């Protein structure tokens, strides 16, 4: 076909808004992506960050783009080429080059940013999840934080900002240790996406893990900054900002209600230890928030700043993500302002052994799994069925039994039962009951939601019986 017109980088740079049209470069090619801006799955504000310049540094940040179908989409918008003398690649360091090494057993859902879960069979081998196997959920590169120069900023009443070094935090406030289970809102999302497509990482059943966290209490630090327990509780929010920032300079952020942080007996920690070891880089070194009973997303890692506000965190992840919707809502009709941000999570359980599709011998079968509920509601019972839910047995619960209303960690469970003599296949099902007698829904269809969060239907594993 006819050769494309040739442009300089300066000419491309004049197209940075919808009004002037939006141009970008990739390699030596020039694209006018104006008509794609509103359609971008990653949002309008993100794609506009690259307006007038090269895509490479942004795509290095979000490796979801290194797929053929993305390049194909881009090709449709080609309008020109860069002038030959300007064709040298823009310098593009890999923002993930500084990420820490990881355990090879992890099942990786996304490499850049790094998101991975342990194999289900390993997850319930120990009550406390070993740090290396603990699920990892990062939205951005792991920031390199130097402990020596690290300062936590705490905004007090009237806007005064306290700066606390790590040794100061450890010296000034008593150390607390709490065993807490963290679960990502997207745990078990892959079961939801089998019903209908959802947006998000395809987590299996292991985006949940348990550790003994050590640190200082957030309420002690807020009290030191000048906040009282009754400080308009119920109206205020404690906002957290991470030190991980995207290329637009926006930090990962989230908030929790003030009373969650300050209530009597609140166990919210600023943790510097995980299972007796220094907090690993993937889990927020040197300091992270641990909010017992609350969705993973609010447990901000690499904590940079804490503040108290009338408003929830303005961050994308508080406002426009991690919310639940009706199955009737789709991406054309969703209005994120209409749903509350997820905080406490609903009751959950899953089978970790045997594995789906496994062959089990006749005779006796041992089924294993985990169960947990949000808000400190303990798990009071787990029911297991080998025949798809027609008949049930009660599993044996193991692990730490924590105080009423403060059951922050999971129970592991197991059941050994005879395999029905003439069964060729088993449809194993589990369901948990929490201290408020909340139960899990029996199927996933009625709780399907476009973001694939809060997936907590009865868990089913089908296996074959054979010698």
Residue 299 binding partner per list Mo ion, ligand MTE, ligand HEM, none, with a CB distance cut-off of 5 to 8 Å that depends on partner kind: ligand MTE
Within residues 159-188, the interface with ligand MTE by CB under 6 A covers 182, 184
70 binding ligand HEM? (CB under 6 A):
yes
Within residues 255-284, the interface with ligand HEM by CB under 6 A covers none
Catalytic residue among 15, 26, 150, 184: 184
Residue placing its CB nearer to ligand MTE in the complex, 134 or 173: 134
Q: Dihedral of the CA atoms 11, 13, 15, 18 (nearest 10)?
A: 180
Residue 351 binding partner per list Mo ion, ligand HEM, ligand MTE, none, with a CB distance cut-off of 5 to 8 Å that depends on partner kind: none
- Token readout for 283 is 């889990």
Catalytic residue among 15, 26, 65, 272: 65
Cβ contact 117:83 at 8 Å: no
**Residues 38-67: x/- map of binding to ligand HEM (CB under 6 A)?**
--xxx---xx-xx----x--x---x-xx-x
Active site residue 184: yes
137 binding Mo ion? (CB under 5 A):
yes
Residues 34 and 29: their CA atoms lie apart, in Å, by: 16
Residue placing its CB nearer to ligand HEM in the complex, 64 or 166: 64
Residue placing its CB nearer to ligand HEM in the complex, 4 or 437: 4
Determine the size of the site formed for ligand MTE (CB under 6 A).
19
Q: Give the residue nearest to ligand HEM (CB).
A: 42
- Tokens 């979000």, residue located: 62
Q: How would DSSP label each residue in 364-417?
A: EEEEEEEEE-STTPPEEEEEEESBTTSS-EEPEEES--PPTT---S-EEEEEEE
Catalytic residue among 62, 252, 272, 322: 322
136 binding ligand MTE? (CB under 6 A):
yes
Cβ contact 280:100 at 8 Å: yes
135 binding ligand MTE? (CB under 6 A):
yes
Residue 285 binding partner per list ligand HEM, ligand MTE, Mo ion, none, with a CB distance cut-off of 5 to 8 Å that depends on partner kind: none
Active site residue 430: no
Within residues 224-253, the interface with ligand MTE by CB under 6 A covers 242, 244, 252
Residues 356 and 423: their CA atoms lie apart, in Å, by: 16
Going by their DSSP bridges, the two strands 359-360 and 396-398 should be labelled as: unpaired
Active site residue 194: no
Q: How far is the CB of 115 from Mo ion (least distance, A)?
A: 9
Reduce the DSSP state of residue 260 to 3 states and report it: helix
What burial class does residue 336 get, using C-beta atoms within 10 Å of its C-beta: 0-12 exposed, 13-18 middle, 19+ buried? middle
Residues 370 and 86: their CA atoms lie apart, in Å, by: 57
191 binding ligand MTE? (CB under 6 A):
no
Residues 385 and 32: their CA atoms lie apart, in Å, by: 57
Cβ contact 156:317 at 8 Å: no
Active site residue 28: no
Q: Contact with ligand HEM (CB under 6 A): which of 6, 18, 74, 233?
A: 74
Active site residue 252: no
Cβ contact 272:169 at 8 Å: yes
What burial class does residue 276 get, using C-beta atoms within 10 Å of its C-beta: 0-12 exposed, 13-18 middle, 19+ buried? exposed
106 binding ligand MTE? (CB under 6 A):
no
Residues 320 and 304: their CA atoms lie apart, in Å, by: 22
Q: Which positions ≥6 away from 208 have C-beta within 8 Å?
A: 123, 135, 181, 182, 183, 184, 187, 348, 370, 372, 410
Residue 64 binding partner per list Mo ion, ligand HEM, ligand MTE, none, with a CB distance cut-off of 5 to 8 Å that depends on partner kind: ligand HEM
- Binding residues (CB under 5 A) for Mo ion: these are 137, 184, 296-297
- Binding residues (CB under 6 A) for ligand MTE: these are 134-140, 182, 184, 242, 244, 252, 283, 296-297, 299-302
- Binding residues (CB under 6 A) for ligand HEM: these are 24, 33, 36, 40-42, 46-47, 49-50, 55, 58, 62, 64-65, 67, 70, 73-74, 199, 247
Task: Name the residues annotated as catalytic.
Answer: 40, 65, 137, 184, 322
């Amino acid at each position: 076909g006819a050769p494309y017109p040739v442009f300089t980088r300066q000419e491309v740079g004049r197209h940075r808004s919808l009004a002037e049209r939006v141009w970008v470069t990739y390699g030596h090619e020039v694209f006018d992506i104006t008509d794609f801006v509103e359609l971008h799955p990653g949002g309008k504000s993100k794609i506009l960050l690259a307006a007038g310049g090269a895509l490479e540094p942004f795509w290095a940040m979000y490796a979801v783009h290194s797929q053929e179908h993305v390049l194909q989409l881009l090709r449709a918008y080609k309008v020109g080429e860069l002038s030959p003398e300007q064709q040298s690649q823009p310098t593009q360091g890999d923002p993930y080059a500084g990420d820490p090494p990881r355990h090879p057993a992890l099942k990786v859902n996304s490499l850049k940013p790094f998101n991975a879960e342990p194999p289900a069979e390993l997850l319930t081998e120990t009550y406390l999840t070993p740090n290396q196997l603990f699920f990892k959920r990062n939205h951005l590169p792991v920031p390199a934080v130097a402990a020596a120069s690290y300062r936590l900023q705490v905004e007090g009443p009237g806007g005064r900002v306290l700066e606390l070094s790590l040794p100061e935090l450890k010296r000034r406030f008593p150390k607390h240790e709490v065993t807490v289970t963290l679960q990502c809102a997207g745990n078990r999302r892959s079961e939801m996406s089998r019903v209908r497509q959802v947006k998000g990482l395809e987590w299996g059943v292991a985006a949940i893990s348990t550790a003994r966290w050590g640190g200082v209490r957030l309420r002690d630090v807020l009290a030191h900054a000048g906040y009282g327990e009754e400080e308009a509780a119920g109206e205020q929010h404690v906002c957290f900002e991470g030190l991980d920032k995207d290329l637009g300079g926006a930090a990962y952020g989230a908030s929790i209600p003030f009373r969650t942080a300050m209530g009597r007996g609140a166990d919210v920690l600023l943790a510097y230890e995980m299972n007796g070891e220094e907090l690993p880089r993937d889990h927020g070194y040197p300091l992270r928030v641990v909010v017992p009973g609350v969705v993973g997303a609010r447990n901000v890692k690499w904590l940079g700043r804490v503040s108290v506000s009338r408003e929830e965190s303005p961050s994308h992840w508080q406002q426009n993500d991690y919310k639940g919707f009706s199955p009737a809502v789709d991406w054309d009709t969703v209005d994120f302002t209409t749903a509350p941000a997820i905080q406490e999570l609903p009751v959950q359980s899953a089978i970790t052994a045997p594995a789906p599709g496994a062959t089990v011998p006749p005779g006796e079968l041992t089924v294993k799994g985990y169960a947990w509920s949000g808000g400190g509601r303990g798990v009071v019972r787990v029911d297991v069925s080998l025949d798809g839910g027609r008949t049930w047995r009660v599993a044996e619960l193991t692990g730490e039994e924590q105080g009423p209303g403060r059951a922050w960690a999971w129970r592991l469970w197991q059941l050994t039962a005879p395999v029905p003599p003439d069964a060729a296949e088993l449809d194993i099902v589990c369901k948990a009951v929490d201290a408020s007698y909340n139960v899990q829904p029996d199927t996933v269809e009625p709780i399907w939601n476009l973001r694939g969060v809060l997936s907590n239907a009865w868990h089913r594993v089908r296996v074959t019986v054979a010698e």
